[in-house]
Structures are given as C-alpha cells and as structure tokens.
Amino acid sequence: MTQQIGGTWDSALSAEEFTAVKAVGFDPVGLVLGTAVYNIGYSGLWGCPGAWSVTGGAKVPASKWTSSLSPLVSAMYAARKLALARAVTECRALGGDGIVGVRLHVAGFQAESVEFTALGTAVRARSRVRPPQPFTSHLSGQDFAKLLDAGWVPTGLAFGIALDTRHDDWRTSRRVRWTAGNQEVDGHTLLINQVRREARDQLAVEAAKHGGDGVVADEVRLRVSENECPTYGYSRDLTAEAVLLGTAIARFGRSERPAGPGPLTIMRLERER
C-alpha cells in the first residue's frame, strides 16, 4: 500500500496533468495500485462451436452441443474489478476522493495464470462537498479538468468485455484461399461485428450501474486467436475478444461559462472627440 513519508506524496501524473488537476480544486495524495492474479483454466466452451448460420440477422450455432464462453467472460470481469477495488481501497486509506488516469495492464504470469493491474493517482478535493465513495476514471489529468469545467463529473470506470468463437465452415474456407481473389470474408466480418457490439452493449450496462448519464469510451481492444477444431479435424475455429474501457460521467450542474479561456476584452484605443 502506498504510504506517505514525512508528508510527501507520489503520483503518476505528468507536470501538465498535475497543473490541470490542481486548477480545478483537487490535490494528488498518492499513487495507488491494485493487483489480482487469476488462473484462467475453464472457458466454458466444449466441443465444436459450430458453424454459424445467419437467419434474420441472428447468429445460430449449427451444433446443439455448443457451450457458452460466459464463465471465461465472468472471470475477466471479476479479475479487473478486483484489481480496481484494491486500488480504491488504497485511495480511501490516503483520504482520496477518487482516482484519475487509471491504467489497466493485463499480462501473463505463470502457466495459465494472468496478472491484472490497476494503477492511478488518488486525488482529494479542496471542498467541503465530498463524494459518497471514491470515483475512478481513465481520463488524463487535463481531460479530467475539462470534464469538471464543463459541468460533468466521473462516476466510475466501466468495462465492456465480449468473447465469441466461430467455426470456419466450407463457405468461409473457400473465401480465404489464395485463389479466391479480393473479396470480403463475411463470416469473419460477422464475428468481429458481433463481439464489438456485445462489448459496447455491456459497457453501457456497466456505465448505468455507476449512475452515469453517459460514458466517455476509450478505443476497443480486439484480439483474434486461431485454434484447431476439436471435433472436425483439419479445420479451425476463430475466437475474437473485444475489451472496451470507458468512464461513466454524470452532470452535476451546468457551467455558467463555456469550457476553456474566457473571451478577450476589447478596448478602444483612440481618444474620444
């Protein structure tokens, strides 16, 4: 846990971020870190995921034995939230009102284990009005300041995570041969669109849980892996993982002036006659 020694504090803020945070009435109180190491073993998927058929825009697994990847998705949510909760615990211990500039790292640890880390800077408001619980935000110090100046406040970090898998059927296989020419591989397009849509929908659900009126989203991180089909030999299954990070925000009051510097005052220089 981060400790202050002799009244000093540490932070992950740049000089520009530090200045911006101070300008809107917040002081950094310390660097906070939360970590969770999870063993990722059971995905929930068994057998062949099946070739999707499209009926009315919906994906339908060809095999009734297809299982869901929800246990793996649940573990990915739980690991991130646990790491973030431990960072919030450190923030409370330092007397902070929230964490800005949260950076999430996911890295392999040992064998099937994965390390999830949340790192950020705890800040405290110079005000008698205190939030009921510390907020979390991925926004930089400058963006955090612009948000407050415009009359909005961050309420919490939100995740959108989705996993989908698709068996490459004979239709898709014909489209990826070097003799197929330049054409869309519609089966792969469906997979990517589906997983990104699921991640966006889940992000909105998470933002609502934080009491946000909206969410300021970061870019979607997409990872596609390929494995040999466990049921049909000499064919492959593609798995797509989409992770979307954002900060839920809520309006606390309309600013009486627009964000940014005020207008210049124009004065007459010539003498009055």
**pLDDT tens per residue across span 110-129:** 777 889 999 999 999 998 77
Question: In percent, how much of the chain has pLDDT > 90?
Answer: 45
Q: What are phi and psi of 162, to 5 degrees?
A: -145, 145
Q: What pTM did the predictor assign?
A: 0.75
Please report which confidence band the pLDDT of residue 169 belongs to, taking 50, 70 and 90 as the band edges. low
In the predicted model, what is the mean pLDDT of residues 36-53? 64
Among 150-159, 205-214, 263-272, the minimum mean pLDDT is found in 263-272
In the predicted model, what is the mean pLDDT of residues 45-65? 47
The whole-number pLDDT of residue 53 equals 43
Please report which confidence band the pLDDT of residue 103 belongs to, taking 50, 70 and 90 as the band edges. very high
CATH code for the part of the protein at 15-251: 3.30.110.70
The whole-number pLDDT of residue 59 equals 47
In the predicted model, what is the mean pLDDT of residues 74-90? 93
The whole-number pLDDT of residue 111 equals 73
In the predicted model, what is the mean pLDDT of residues 33-37? 95
Residue extents of the structural domains in the chain = 15-251
Please report which confidence band the pLDDT of residue 90 belongs to, taking 50, 70 and 90 as the band edges. very high
For the chain, strand residue ranges (E) read: 26-39, 52-55, 58-61, 98-108, 113-125, 135-136, 152-167, 214-228, 236-251
Q: What are phi and psi of 117, to 5 degrees?
A: -130, 135
Please report which confidence band the pLDDT of residue 179 belongs to, taking 50, 70 and 90 as the band edges. low
The whole-number pLDDT of residue 76 equals 87
Question: Radius of gyration over alpha carbons of the chain, in Å?
Answer: 24
CA atoms within 13 A on the CB side of 16: 5
Long-range interactions of 221-225: CB distance < 8 A, separation 24+: 221/245, 222/192, 222/195, 222/196, 224/192
DSSP 157-171: EEEEEEEEEEE--HH
